[in-house]
Structure 1
Amino acid sequence: MKVSIITIVYNNVNTIASCLESVQSQTYDNIEHIVIDGKSNDGTIDIIKKFEKGIDVFISEKDNGLYDALNKGIGKATGDIVGILHSDDMFYSFHTIGDVVKHMKKTNADLLYGNGVYVERTNTSNIKRIYSSRPFKKAYLKYGWIPLHTTIFVKSEVFDEYGLYDESYSIASDYDISLRWFLNTAIKKTFLDEFIVKMRLGGKSTTLGLQKKKSLQDIKIIKRHGLPGYFTLACKIGRKIPQYLKRG
């Protein structure tokens, strides 16, 4: 099975190399890497060019935000399975993609998800938070449970049948699309109890300054999908506390 990995980036000269290395060092050899750059001007493009032999699609142009960039990447993907690796992030091990494909074949799932870790920005061996998941039950969703988005891999037809990211949610559309997937009983899901991704703290999605904006969009999404409003939001926020307590 061919796996399309989509990386979006804008002015991330300090971490893009480790992201690209992470993809190119995977032991699974049928990977299509799609890199969508938002017209970086800080040297990011120069670094990307050093890895161009392992990049199948590279686009550098202005976009309308991260979900526009992701949708652009999905439109270019030709793989059987699609996953996302942001420019701050790395796969947890060299055999991550191979493990994902093996488990999806074994279970015949449309969607796979797993565990992830947040690491220190400059020392990625220092784990600061552990984001654990579990086998899926629909009831978990009302308590704010949702897998870490970058641990989710879906078959390409999931996007074809159920749509792309809703760009009206500028910072929380990953939560919206995840709920669309997990509430949809037609999408067969499987949990891989392994660490899939390392995410650096301090990126756009983890800064405190944007958490209020994200929560406002989250509550709109929660209500849109018929979940119990501020109760679900409070549970979703509260789930971060044990992530710190579990860190090694």
Structure 2
Amino acid sequence: MKVSIITVVYNGVQTIKDTIESILAQTYPEIEYIIIDGGSKDGTVELIKSYGTRIAQFVSEPDKGLYDAMNKGIQRATGEVIGLLNADDFYRHQDVISHVVETFERTKSDAVYGDMLYVDRNDVYNVRRYFRSGTYSSGAFLWGWMPGHLSFFAKKKLYDQYGLFRLDLKSAADYELMLRFIHKHKITLSYMDETTIVMREGGVSNGSLKNWLRGNMEDRKAWELNGLKPFPFTLFFKPLRKLPQLILKEKKNAFTYPLNK
């Protein structure tokens, strides 16, 4: 089973090396690594090129933003399974993709997801949040649930059948896609009870009240675009689900890659 991993980046020279190294260190042999760069000017392109043919596909050109770049990668992917890993983030250990493939093969699911850690941008050993997704049950989106997007691995056929990321959403395109795949089209889904992704804090959907309000409006639009109706409290429960993430502790606190200290 070939797995295509897609990284999108724009001026990410300070962090993308961790991302690349965490993918190249994976023990699973059938990985197609694709990097889509938005035309970086800070040395990112030169760093990526230094890895030569270890990067299966590399494109550097202007794009219409994060989700347009992700769509470009998905369209180029030749793997049966697609995973996304942004240029600020990295896999928790070198067996993540092996465990993902094992889960796909054992469960015959359409998609697999796990847990994530949010860490300080400048000190990745300073854990800020533990995103425990938990097992999915039908209708969970109505109660504010969603899996961590970067922990979500989906069969390529889902994108072919149900479509790519919508470019008319700025921060909720990942939420809309998973809502569409999981809640609307009822794909089969399996939970991996382990942390797969380490994410540096900061991003389009994090931070200010303004961003939160915009995200809430886009979440509502995501339901409307799919002809779905949430409960009156659904989109208030969604951000409230983040509160326990500040308290919960991961079962195993340490991760082993990519930095050695």
- Give me the TM-score of the superposition, normalised by structure 1: 0.95
Q: Distance in 1 between matches of 2:90 and 2:50?
A: 18
Give the aligned residue type for 1:90.
F
Q: Distance in 2 between matches of 1:142 and 1:174?
A: 16
Q: Share of identical aligned residues, percent?
A: 40
| Secondary structure class of the residue paired with 1:71 | helix
Match of 1:107 in 2: 107
Give the aligned residue type for 2:22.
S
Match of 1:213 in 2: 214
Give the aligned residue type for 2:77.
A
Q: Distance in 2 between matches of 1:193 and 1:12?
A: 30
Distance 1:230 1:64, change over 3 A: farther
Distance 1:63 1:230, change over 3 A: farther
| Secondary structure class of the residue paired with 2:165 | coil
Match of 2:256 in 1: none
Match of 1:246 in 2: 248
Q: Distance in 1 between matches of 2:108 and 2:116?
A: 22
Deviation at 1:202, TM superposition (A): 2.0
Give the aligned residue type for 1:189.
L
1:32-70 CA-partner distances (Å, limit 9, x unpaired)? 011000001111112112223321010000001111111
Say if 2:171 and 2:204, in contact at 8 Å, map to a contact too.
Answer: no
Q: How does 1:114-153 map to 2 (within 5 A)?
A: 114-153=114-153
Give the aligned residue type for 1:118.
Y
Q: Distance in 2 between matches of 1:72 and 1:142?
A: 31
1:157-198 CA-partner distances (Å, limit 9, x unpaired)? 111111111111122110000001111455211111111100
Deviation at 1:230, TM superposition (A): 5.2
Q: Give the count of matched residue pairs.
A: 248
Which 10-residue stretch deviates more, 120-129 or 90-99?
A: 120-129
Q: How does 1:76-225 map to 2 (within 5 A)?
A: 76-184=76-184, 186-208=186-208, 210-225=211-226
Say if 2:167 and 2:173, in contact at 8 Å, map to a contact too.
Answer: yes
Distance 1:10 1:205, change over 3 A: farther
- Give me the TM-score of the superposition, normalised by structure 2: 0.90
Q: How does 1:48-59 map to 2 (within 5 A)?
A: 48-59=48-59
CA RMSD of the aligned region, Å? 1.5
Q: Distance in 2 between matches of 1:46 and 1:53?
A: 14
Q: Distance in 2 between matches of 1:186 and 1:113?
A: 15
Q: Does 1:33 align with 2:33?
A: yes
The list of structure 1 runs, each at least 4 consecutive aligned residues, that deviate by more than 4 angstroms after superposition, is none
- Give 1 or 2: higher helix fraction: 1
Question: Mind listing any 5+ residue stretches in structure 1 that lack a counterpart?
Answer: none
